[in-house]
């Protein structure tokens, strides 16, 4: 099993763990395997980057990690609790608190909403006063590198780079324990993209937020201490001992046959 995190002192309990996770999806008549026998652990404050091409199962893996979907096989545990055993309400609360999820299609701006509203509303749902929510929102926007001027801008008209940073600010304001990022860099300019990826790594490090990041570009994952590759639903990580990576169990039977 891949285990990611610092080995200082006594072993820390994993924040997130996948144990032999499998996920299948119906596509019309056929059922296809999206993830097969995926196991890894993410310790508090550590980082794991997952490289994979399109349709390799990255997004599904992240959606399982944040509790938006449930696995059919194996178990996904967050802070030692099985996500499958929670009610949908409990899982939704996780996503408003200790788990932050950034994905390209997670951007739903409302008409007439300013950047400040967008970020402060996220803090406000945690039961803070409006004033405190605004104060936290400003601090988060500042850390995400969104200049003060843009705080009053309308969310619908933001440039891609600013939008990505506003999404990050919205995630940070809830002080999450884990940040899951599906494709960190859909930004057109190379430099903007690199700066944004560097920001994600720095913020996660300075706040001890565990970072789980998937990308179809290896370079977007640079600087992340531990990398894995996902192909056809099969996860391969540098943490696996030995050189022989076995095919998942069900496929093995076919291979051994002469």
| Shortest reach from residue 121's CB to another protein, in Å | 32
Closest contact distance (angstroms) between CB of 192 and another protein is 10
- Whether the CB-CB separation of 104 and 183 falls below 8 Å is answered with yes
- Our CB check for another protein shows the closer of 10 and 54 to be 54
Question: Residue 149 or residue 257: which is nearer to another protein going by CB?
Answer: 257
Q: How far is the CB of 90 from another protein (least distance, A)?
A: 35
**Cβ distance to another protein smaller for residue 154 or 225:** 225
Residue 184 burial class via C-beta count within 10 angstroms: exposed 0-12, middle 13-18, buried 19 and up: buried
For the CB of residue 26, give the shortest distance to another protein in the complex, in Å.
21
Contacts (Cβ under 8 Å, ≥6 apart) of 77: 14, 16, 17, 19, 83
DSSP 40-66: EEE-TT-EEEEE--TTSSHHHHHHHHT
Determine contact, residues 91/83, Cβ cutoff 8 Å: yes
Applying CB under 8 A, the residues found at the interface with another protein are: 51, 53, 191, 194-195, 198, 217-219, 221-229, 231-232, 236-238, 240, 243-245, 247, 251, 253-255, 257
Minimum gap (Å) between residue 19 Cβ and another protein = 21
Which residue stretches of the chain are H helix? 58-65, 88-96, 115-124, 130-143, 160-172, 190-206, 249-256
Residue placing its CB nearer to another protein in the complex, 110 or 231: 231
Of 150 and 229, the one with the shorter C-beta distance to another protein is 229
- Helix, strand, coil distribution of the chain in percent, nearest 5: 40, 25, 35
Which residues, including other chains, have CB under 8 Å from residue 175's CB and lie 6 or more apart? 207
Q: Which residue has the tokens 């540098």?
A: 238
Q: Which residues neighbour 105 within 8 Å (Cβ) at sequence distance 6 or greater? A: none
CB of 178 to another protein, least distance (A): 21
| 36 vs 69 by CB, closer to another protein | 36
């Amino acid at each position: 099993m891949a285990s990611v995190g610092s080995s200082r002192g006594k072993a820390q309990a994993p924040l997130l763990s996948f144990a032999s996770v499998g996920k299948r999806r119906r596509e019309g008549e056929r059922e296809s395997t999206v993830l097969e026998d995926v196991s890894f652990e993410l310790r508090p404050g550590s980082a794991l980057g997952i490289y994979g091409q399109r349709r390799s199962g990255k997004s599904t893996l992240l959606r399982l990690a944040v509790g938006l979907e449930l696995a059919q096989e194996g178990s996904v545990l967050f802070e030692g609790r099985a996500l499958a055993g929670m009610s949908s309400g409990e899982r939704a609360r996780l996503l408003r608190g200790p788990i932050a999820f950034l994905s390209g299609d997670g951007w739903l701006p409302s008409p007439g909403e300013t950047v400040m509203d967008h970020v402060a509303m996220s803090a406000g749902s945690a039961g803070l006063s409006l004033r405190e929510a605004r104060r936290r929102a400003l601090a988060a926007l500042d850390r995400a590198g969104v200049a003060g001027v843009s705080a009053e801008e309308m969310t619908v008209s933001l440039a891609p780079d600013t939008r990505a940073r506003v999404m990050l600010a919205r995630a940070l304001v809830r002080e999450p324990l884990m940040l899951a990022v599906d494709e960190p860099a859909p930004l057109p300019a190379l430099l903007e993209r690199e700066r944004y990826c560097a920001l994600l790594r720095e913020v996660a490090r300075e706040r001890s937020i565990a970072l789980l990041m998937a990308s179809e570009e290896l370079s977007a994952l640079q600087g992340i201490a531990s990398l894995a590759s996902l192909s056809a639903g099969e996860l391969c990580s540098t943490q696996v001992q030995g050189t022989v990576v076995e095919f998942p169990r069900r496929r093995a039977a076919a291979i051994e046959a002469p």
